[in-house]
Structure 1
Amino acid sequence: MNASNPAQFNRALSELLNNLSSEAAASGPLRKYAAGNALTGILQMVYATVQCTPDMDQQNCTACLNYGRSELGGCCYGRMGCRILRPNCVLRFESNPFYNETAVPLPSPPTTSSPTPSPGNGNNTTRTVIIVIASVVGLLILIIIAICIFKRPKRNKDISIKVESK
Protein backbone atom coordinates (compact mmCIF):
# COMPACT_ATOMS: atom_id res chain seq x y z
CA MET A 1 0.00 0.00 0.00
CA ASN A 2 1.07 3.53 -0.65
CA ALA A 3 0.70 6.38 1.82
CA SER A 4 -1.96 8.98 1.05
CA ASN A 5 0.55 11.82 1.55
CA PRO A 6 3.99 10.33 0.77
CA ALA A 7 6.02 13.45 1.63
CA GLN A 8 4.43 13.86 5.07
CA PHE A 9 4.62 10.11 5.70
CA ASN A 10 8.34 9.97 4.78
CA ARG A 11 9.20 12.97 6.99
CA ALA A 12 7.53 11.34 10.01
CA LEU A 13 9.07 7.96 9.19
CA SER A 14 12.55 9.45 8.73
CA GLU A 15 12.37 11.19 12.11
CA LEU A 16 11.06 8.02 13.79
CA LEU A 17 13.79 5.81 12.27
CA ASN A 18 16.46 8.37 13.15
CA ASN A 19 15.38 8.36 16.82
CA LEU A 20 15.07 4.57 16.95
CA SER A 21 18.48 4.10 15.29
CA SER A 22 20.15 6.31 17.91
CA GLU A 23 18.38 4.46 20.71
CA ALA A 24 19.26 0.99 19.39
CA ALA A 25 22.91 1.84 18.72
CA ALA A 26 23.32 3.22 22.26
CA SER A 27 21.65 0.19 23.88
CA GLY A 28 23.65 -2.19 26.03
CA PRO A 29 25.41 -5.32 24.84
CA LEU A 30 22.42 -7.59 25.50
CA ARG A 31 20.07 -5.94 23.03
CA LYS A 32 20.65 -3.36 20.33
CA TYR A 33 16.95 -2.90 19.58
CA ALA A 34 14.40 -0.12 19.56
CA ALA A 35 10.72 0.07 18.62
CA GLY A 36 8.28 2.92 18.40
CA ASN A 37 5.53 4.62 16.41
CA ALA A 38 4.72 8.02 15.00
CA LEU A 39 1.69 9.85 13.67
CA THR A 40 2.11 10.36 9.91
CA GLY A 41 -1.13 12.08 9.09
CA ILE A 42 -4.70 12.31 10.26
CA LEU A 43 -5.35 9.07 12.16
CA GLN A 44 -2.48 7.38 10.35
CA MET A 45 0.30 5.75 12.37
CA VAL A 46 3.53 4.05 11.38
CA TYR A 47 5.15 1.43 13.60
CA ALA A 48 8.86 0.71 13.27
CA THR A 49 11.64 -1.40 14.74
CA VAL A 50 15.39 -1.34 14.23
CA GLN A 51 17.93 -3.82 15.50
CA CYS A 52 21.66 -4.56 15.26
CA THR A 53 23.47 -7.76 16.16
CA PRO A 54 24.78 -7.60 19.76
CA ASP A 55 28.42 -7.94 18.70
CA MET A 56 28.41 -4.52 17.00
CA ASP A 57 29.68 -1.43 18.77
CA GLN A 58 27.70 1.82 18.74
CA GLN A 59 29.54 3.34 15.77
CA ASN A 60 29.15 0.28 13.51
CA CYS A 61 25.51 -0.19 14.50
CA THR A 62 24.77 3.44 13.65
CA ALA A 63 26.55 3.09 10.31
CA CYS A 64 24.64 -0.10 9.43
CA LEU A 65 21.27 1.43 10.31
CA ASN A 66 22.07 4.65 8.42
CA TYR A 67 22.96 2.62 5.34
CA GLY A 68 19.70 0.68 5.71
CA ARG A 69 17.75 3.94 5.99
CA SER A 70 19.41 5.21 2.80
CA GLU A 71 18.19 2.07 1.01
CA LEU A 72 14.58 2.92 1.91
CA GLY A 73 14.52 5.71 -0.68
CA GLY A 74 15.21 3.31 -3.53
CA CYS A 75 12.59 0.72 -2.72
CA CYS A 76 10.09 1.95 -0.19
CA TYR A 77 9.43 5.65 -0.78
CA GLY A 78 5.82 6.37 0.19
CA ARG A 79 4.99 2.75 1.01
CA MET A 80 3.09 1.82 4.17
CA GLY A 81 5.47 -0.99 5.05
CA CYS A 82 8.93 -2.24 4.27
CA ARG A 83 11.75 -4.40 5.60
CA ILE A 84 15.44 -3.80 5.06
CA LEU A 85 17.45 -6.87 6.02
CA ARG A 86 21.22 -6.50 6.23
CA PRO A 87 23.71 -9.01 7.64
CA ASN A 88 24.20 -7.04 10.88
CA CYS A 89 21.07 -4.91 11.17
CA VAL A 90 17.37 -4.87 10.36
CA LEU A 91 14.87 -2.04 9.81
CA ARG A 92 11.13 -2.60 9.54
CA PHE A 93 8.07 -0.38 9.44
CA GLU A 94 4.37 -1.12 8.93
CA SER A 95 1.08 0.74 9.15
CA ASN A 96 -0.20 -1.82 11.68
CA PRO A 97 1.42 -2.75 15.00
CA PHE A 98 3.59 -5.85 14.61
CA TYR A 99 5.57 -5.87 17.86
CA ASN A 100 4.72 -6.16 21.54
CA GLU A 101 4.66 -2.64 22.97
CA THR A 102 4.60 -3.90 26.57
CA ALA A 103 7.75 -6.03 26.32
CA VAL A 104 9.78 -6.03 29.50
CA PRO A 105 13.28 -4.67 28.95
CA LEU A 106 16.21 -7.04 29.43
CA PRO A 107 18.07 -6.69 32.72
CA SER A 108 21.40 -4.93 32.75
CA PRO A 109 24.45 -7.18 32.63
CA PRO A 110 26.00 -7.94 36.02
CA THR A 111 28.52 -5.34 37.16
CA THR A 112 30.77 -7.72 39.07
CA SER A 113 34.24 -7.73 37.71
CA SER A 114 36.03 -11.02 37.47
CA PRO A 115 39.68 -11.36 36.66
CA THR A 116 40.26 -12.30 33.08
CA PRO A 117 42.65 -15.15 32.53
CA SER A 118 45.91 -14.13 30.97
CA PRO A 119 46.90 -15.87 27.74
CA GLY A 120 49.95 -17.53 29.32
CA ASN A 121 48.11 -19.05 32.29
CA GLY A 122 45.30 -20.91 30.50
CA ASN A 123 41.71 -20.74 31.53
CA ASN A 124 39.87 -21.83 34.66
CA THR A 125 38.65 -25.11 33.15
CA THR A 126 42.17 -26.29 32.37
CA ARG A 127 43.34 -25.31 35.84
CA THR A 128 40.45 -27.22 37.45
CA VAL A 129 41.16 -30.37 35.42
CA ILE A 130 44.85 -30.29 36.39
CA ILE A 131 44.01 -29.90 40.08
CA VAL A 132 41.52 -32.79 40.00
CA ILE A 133 43.92 -35.13 38.19
CA ALA A 134 46.82 -34.26 40.52
CA SER A 135 44.61 -34.86 43.57
CA VAL A 136 43.45 -38.28 42.31
CA VAL A 137 47.02 -39.38 41.46
CA GLY A 138 48.29 -38.22 44.86
CA LEU A 139 45.51 -40.11 46.65
CA LEU A 140 46.28 -43.30 44.69
CA ILE A 141 49.98 -43.07 45.61
CA LEU A 142 49.09 -42.71 49.30
CA ILE A 143 46.78 -45.75 49.14
CA ILE A 144 49.48 -47.88 47.47
CA ILE A 145 52.05 -46.86 50.10
CA ALA A 146 49.61 -47.67 52.91
CA ILE A 147 48.87 -51.11 51.42
CA CYS A 148 52.58 -51.86 51.08
CA ILE A 149 53.27 -50.94 54.69
CA PHE A 150 50.47 -53.07 56.13
CA LYS A 151 50.97 -56.08 53.88
CA ARG A 152 54.74 -56.53 54.26
CA PRO A 153 55.79 -59.57 56.21
CA LYS A 154 56.35 -58.94 59.84
CA ARG A 155 59.69 -59.90 61.34
CA ASN A 156 59.50 -62.37 64.14
CA LYS A 157 61.56 -61.22 66.98
CA ASP A 158 62.06 -64.59 68.53
CA ILE A 159 64.31 -64.45 71.42
CA SER A 160 66.03 -67.72 71.62
CA ILE A 161 67.14 -68.79 75.00
CA LYS A 162 69.97 -71.18 74.93
CA VAL A 163 69.90 -73.66 77.63
CA GLU A 164 73.19 -75.30 78.30
CA SER A 165 73.19 -78.71 79.62
CA LYS A 166 76.00 -80.15 81.66
Structure 2
Amino acid sequence: MLRYANRTILGSQEEQPSSTLRSTKKVTNNVNQFNQVLGTLLNRLRNDASKGDSRLKFATGNDSYGSFGSIYAFAQCSPDFSQRNCFNCLGDFISEKIPSGSTNNTGAQILGPSCKLRYEDYLFYNDVSSPSSPPPSAPPSGKY
Protein backbone atom coordinates (compact mmCIF):
# COMPACT_ATOMS: atom_id res chain seq x y z
CA MET A 1 0.00 0.00 0.00
CA LEU A 2 1.26 3.45 -0.86
CA ARG A 3 0.29 6.24 1.48
CA TYR A 4 1.04 9.93 1.09
CA ALA A 5 -0.23 13.22 2.52
CA ASN A 6 0.66 16.89 2.79
CA ARG A 7 0.97 16.49 6.58
CA THR A 8 2.85 14.24 8.97
CA ILE A 9 1.39 10.75 8.94
CA LEU A 10 4.04 8.85 10.89
CA GLY A 11 2.55 7.22 13.96
CA SER A 12 -0.94 8.61 13.38
CA GLN A 13 -3.73 6.06 13.45
CA GLU A 14 -6.09 6.30 10.51
CA GLU A 15 -8.71 3.72 9.71
CA GLN A 16 -10.32 5.50 6.77
CA PRO A 17 -10.49 5.03 3.95
CA SER A 18 -10.84 1.30 4.44
CA SER A 19 -11.99 -1.51 2.25
CA THR A 20 -13.49 -4.85 3.20
CA LEU A 21 -13.41 -7.69 0.69
CA ARG A 22 -15.25 -10.88 1.62
CA SER A 23 -15.12 -14.32 0.09
CA THR A 24 -18.35 -15.45 -1.52
CA LYS A 25 -17.70 -18.95 -0.20
CA LYS A 26 -19.56 -19.65 3.05
CA VAL A 27 -18.93 -21.89 6.05
CA THR A 28 -21.83 -24.35 6.12
CA ASN A 29 -20.94 -26.59 9.07
CA ASN A 30 -20.04 -25.58 12.63
CA VAL A 31 -20.49 -21.86 11.93
CA ASN A 32 -20.43 -20.98 15.65
CA GLN A 33 -17.22 -22.95 16.18
CA PHE A 34 -15.70 -21.28 13.09
CA ASN A 35 -16.54 -17.82 14.43
CA GLN A 36 -15.14 -18.64 17.86
CA VAL A 37 -11.86 -20.01 16.42
CA LEU A 38 -11.61 -17.05 14.02
CA GLY A 39 -12.06 -14.53 16.85
CA THR A 40 -9.46 -16.22 19.03
CA LEU A 41 -6.98 -16.46 16.14
CA LEU A 42 -7.38 -12.82 15.09
CA ASN A 43 -6.99 -11.58 18.66
CA ARG A 44 -3.83 -13.68 19.09
CA LEU A 45 -2.38 -12.20 15.89
CA ARG A 46 -3.42 -8.72 17.04
CA ASN A 47 -1.32 -9.21 20.18
CA ASP A 48 1.64 -10.65 18.27
CA ALA A 49 1.67 -8.00 15.51
CA SER A 50 1.41 -5.11 17.96
CA LYS A 51 4.49 -6.37 19.82
CA GLY A 52 6.65 -6.08 16.70
CA ASP A 53 9.49 -3.60 16.53
CA SER A 54 9.85 -0.46 14.40
CA ARG A 55 10.85 -2.55 11.39
CA LEU A 56 7.99 -5.04 11.33
CA LYS A 57 4.58 -5.26 12.95
CA PHE A 58 3.28 -8.42 11.31
CA ALA A 59 1.96 -11.79 12.47
CA THR A 60 0.60 -14.91 10.78
CA GLY A 61 -1.03 -17.99 12.18
CA ASN A 62 -3.63 -20.68 11.72
CA ASP A 63 -6.04 -22.82 13.65
CA SER A 64 -8.55 -25.55 12.88
CA TYR A 65 -12.23 -25.75 13.66
CA GLY A 66 -13.11 -29.37 14.25
CA SER A 67 -12.67 -31.82 11.44
CA PHE A 68 -14.07 -29.34 8.92
CA GLY A 69 -11.05 -27.25 8.05
CA SER A 70 -8.43 -24.69 8.93
CA ILE A 71 -8.32 -20.91 9.07
CA TYR A 72 -5.17 -19.02 8.06
CA ALA A 73 -4.77 -15.36 8.95
CA PHE A 74 -2.42 -12.40 9.13
CA ALA A 75 -2.44 -9.05 10.88
CA GLN A 76 -0.18 -6.13 10.01
CA CYS A 77 0.33 -2.53 11.13
CA SER A 78 2.39 0.31 9.83
CA PRO A 79 5.83 -0.24 11.42
CA ASP A 80 5.98 3.35 12.75
CA PHE A 81 3.01 2.62 15.01
CA SER A 82 3.34 2.27 18.75
CA GLN A 83 2.29 -1.02 20.27
CA ARG A 84 -0.87 0.61 21.61
CA ASN A 85 -1.86 2.20 18.27
CA CYS A 86 -1.35 -1.08 16.43
CA PHE A 87 -3.32 -3.02 19.04
CA ASN A 88 -6.19 -0.49 18.85
CA CYS A 89 -6.25 -0.28 15.05
CA LEU A 90 -6.44 -4.06 14.61
CA GLY A 91 -8.95 -4.30 17.45
CA ASP A 92 -11.23 -1.77 15.79
CA PHE A 93 -11.12 -3.74 12.55
CA ILE A 94 -11.87 -7.00 14.36
CA SER A 95 -14.82 -5.58 16.30
CA GLU A 96 -16.29 -3.38 13.54
CA LYS A 97 -15.58 -5.29 10.35
CA ILE A 98 -15.75 -8.87 11.66
CA PRO A 99 -18.30 -8.69 14.49
CA SER A 100 -18.29 -11.78 16.67
CA GLY A 101 -20.73 -14.43 15.57
CA SER A 102 -21.94 -12.64 12.46
CA THR A 103 -19.71 -13.99 9.74
CA ASN A 104 -19.78 -17.22 7.87
CA ASN A 105 -17.51 -16.13 5.03
CA THR A 106 -14.54 -18.44 4.63
CA GLY A 107 -12.30 -15.45 3.98
CA ALA A 108 -12.04 -11.69 4.16
CA GLN A 109 -9.54 -8.83 3.82
CA ILE A 110 -9.84 -5.57 5.70
CA LEU A 111 -7.44 -2.96 4.37
CA GLY A 112 -6.83 0.45 5.89
CA PRO A 113 -4.09 3.07 5.76
CA SER A 114 -2.60 2.02 9.12
CA CYS A 115 -3.39 -1.67 9.52
CA LYS A 116 -4.83 -4.69 7.75
CA LEU A 117 -6.24 -8.12 8.47
CA ARG A 118 -6.86 -11.12 6.28
CA TYR A 119 -8.17 -14.62 6.87
CA GLU A 120 -8.86 -17.47 4.46
CA ASP A 121 -9.63 -21.18 4.51
CA TYR A 122 -6.41 -21.85 2.56
CA LEU A 123 -2.75 -21.00 3.09
CA PHE A 124 -2.17 -17.68 1.30
CA TYR A 125 1.16 -16.63 2.80
CA ASN A 126 4.64 -18.15 2.91
CA ASP A 127 4.94 -20.10 6.12
CA VAL A 128 8.21 -19.00 7.69
CA SER A 129 7.56 -20.60 11.07
CA SER A 130 10.60 -22.82 10.62
CA PRO A 131 13.66 -20.60 10.51
CA SER A 132 16.29 -21.66 8.05
CA SER A 133 19.47 -23.16 9.36
CA PRO A 134 22.39 -20.80 9.82
CA PRO A 135 25.19 -21.15 7.27
CA PRO A 136 27.98 -23.50 8.27
CA SER A 137 30.80 -21.81 10.11
CA ALA A 138 34.02 -21.15 8.22
CA PRO A 139 36.96 -23.39 9.01
CA PRO A 140 39.43 -21.83 11.47
CA SER A 141 42.19 -19.89 9.82
CA GLY A 142 45.77 -19.81 10.88
CA LYS A 143 48.71 -22.21 11.04
CA TYR A 144 48.48 -25.66 12.49
- Bucket of the pairwise TM-score, normalised by the shorter protein: 0.5 to 0.7
Note if contact 1:39-1:46 (Cα within 8 Å) is conserved in structure 2. Answer: yes
Q: Name 2:26's counterpart in structure 1.
A: 2
TM-aligned CA deviation for residue 69 of structure 1: 0.3
- Structure 1 104/53 Cα, relative in aligned 2: closer, same or farther at 3 Å? farther
Q: Name 1:15's counterpart in structure 2.
A: 40
Where structure 2 has 5 or more consecutive residues not aligned to the other structure, the ranges are 1-24, 132-144
Aligned residues: 104
* Stretches of 4+ aligned residues off by more than 3 angstroms: none
Write the deviation string for residues 54-105 of structure 1: whole angstroms up to 9, x where unpaired.
111000000000001011129x711100011111000000000000002687
Higher helix share: 1
- Root-mean-square deviation (Å): 1.8
Where structure 1 has 5 or more consecutive residues not aligned to the other structure, the ranges are 106-166
Map 1:71-90; keep pairs closer than 5 Å: 71-73=97-99, 77-90=103-116
Equivalent residue in structure 1 for 2:57, among 32, 36, 49 = 32
Q: Which has the larger radius of gyration?
A: 1
> TM-score under structure 1 normalisation?
0.59
Map 1:8-157; keep pairs closer than 5 Å: 8-70=33-95, 71-73=97-99, 77-102=103-128
